[in-house]
Amino acid sequence: MNSVKRVAFYTLGCKVNQYETESIKKQLLDMGYEEVDFTEKAELYIVNSCTVTSIADRKTRNILRRAKKNNEDAVVVATGCYAQTNAKDLEEIEEIDYVIGNSDKGAIIDLIKTIDEGGDVERTLHRNIFDANEYEELEFSTLREMTRAYIKVQDGCNNFCSYCKIPFARGKSRSRQLDSVVEESRKLASEGFKELIIIGINLGAYGEDLTEDVNFEDLLVAVSQVEGIERIRIGSMYPDKITDNFIELMRTNPKLMPHLHISLQSCDDKVLEGMKRKYDSSVIRERLLKLKEAVPNMEYTADVIVGFPGEEKEGFENTCKVIEEIGFSDLHIFQYSDRENTVASKLPGKVNPQVKKERAKALEEVEDRMFEEMSKYIGKRVRVLVEESKHGKSYGYTENYLRTEILDYTGKPNEVVEVEINQLKKGMLSGGKK
């Protein structure tokens, strides 16, 4: 029997990371481990790291040190993106026992088994991530979030945007076999999940590396044909991957929810060129407006970086103008920070930190103005998948991913109900069934 009984997890970063933590967790629980909160004493701590920003790097290091404070005799494992790109930095932190890159994340379970049996294990497992040519299948242990479940279908990215470390953390684009995706979708439907969220690092590249003639649109059609699945959401898309075929599928397939999270970053041509994005602002405007025109009540959320090297006042204003013209229900706003060994970190024209802060605040004001436009739903009936109930109210998301407060629903979660919207609150719609 395992000498280690309790395990605690801490996951930083994106849903892909969270999905992979769930796979590791399921296998350890099957081995007899008991999960406890990360703040509690455990014999094993696993930190799945992120390296999207310098803040994520710092938080990863702090979390790893905190684990040893909980139990100085514990085994502390660092894995994930930061462990892949900065293994040598983590090796210098004495509180960390093992460093396992994304290239060897699938070996964590064998490592733990060997430790339990008293065997010797190398402190660092780290190979060249670009040697990975095929998608690594994980245990069916899909990330579940209240009434929704996530399915990872793709990993890696071939874009090499100038500011981004992710290709070095995740490797080249690799697609999951379509039959495996469908099989997991059926499993989740049999467990009662009605909403699936398709996730990956660059979803629009799905299928480009497979020998079979299949693309992202084919995957969406196949999943939508699974009986019991009522809603399909798409994790994130690049503007240039919104093809005419994709737009037509969004228009005609009722299971595809009218919402997209857009990897936007900027809407200024000079900045986009410096970022090495593969499109300009005209593509952003044309593609997103065309999709919005084709699909009723289509809503967007997006990631935006302010203060990229060389971003002038006019360039920032261009970004704000295009964003406001298209209309977004929510923005994730990041102030640019250098990532080591990236092209952008060596670019001239660094923007003053105070200016970056001011631009972030100005974009937040644009965001607030755009959300006020959601008042167009007042007096209309919307369909909401109920996720939770507390304090006599229920909460869920509309088909186009607007958080909604339901004032008079007393049923159970995981039901789709019609709600008449009567007011707009901070960050959400509000209404009742009556």
How large a percentage of the chain has pLDDT more than 90?
76
Is 53 inside a domain boundary? Answer: yes
Q: What is the structure's pLDDT at 141?
A: 53
Domain co-membership, 347 together with 399: no
Domain co-membership, 24 together with 170: no
Q: How far apart, in Å, are the Cα atoms of 2 and each of 10, 102, 274, 391?
A: 21, 25, 52, 42
Distance in angstroms (rounded) separating the CA atoms of residues 229 and 400: 17
Domain co-membership, 113 together with 157: no
pLDDT score of 355 more than 90: yes
Q: Write out pLDDT tens, residues 126-152.
A: 888 888 788 777 655 555 555 678 899
CATH number at residue 63: 3.40.50.12160
Contacts of 104 (CB under 8 A, 6+ apart): 125, 126, 127
Is 134 inside a domain boundary? Answer: no
Domain co-membership, 100 together with 206: no
Domain co-membership, 235 together with 215: yes
pLDDT score of 399 more than 60: yes
Cα of 42 vs its chain's centroid, Å: 28
CATH number at residue 191: 3.80.30.20
**pLDDT range class, residue 2, cuts 50, 70, 90:** very low
Q: Could you tell me the residue range of the domain that residue 393 belongs to?
A: 378-432
How large a percentage of the chain has pLDDT more than 70?
97
Q: What is the structure's pLDDT at 1?
A: 41
Of the candidates 152, 183, 184, 182, the one whose C-alpha atom is nearest the C-alpha of residue 170 is 152
Q: What is the structure's pLDDT at 233?
A: 95
Average pLDDT, the chain: 92
Distance in angstroms (rounded) separating the CA atoms of residues 50 and 191: 30
329, 350, 374: which is the final residue of a domain? Answer: 374
Distance in angstroms (rounded) separating the CA atoms of residues 208 and 202: 11
CATH number at residue 423: 2.40.50.140
Is 301 inside a domain boundary? Answer: yes
Identify the sign of the CA torsion 288, 159, 134, 123: negative
Domain co-membership, 150 together with 297: yes
Domain co-membership, 332 together with 395: no
Q: Write out pLDDT tens, residues 159-212.
A: 999 999 999 999 999 999 999 999 999 999 998 888 899 999 999 999 999 999
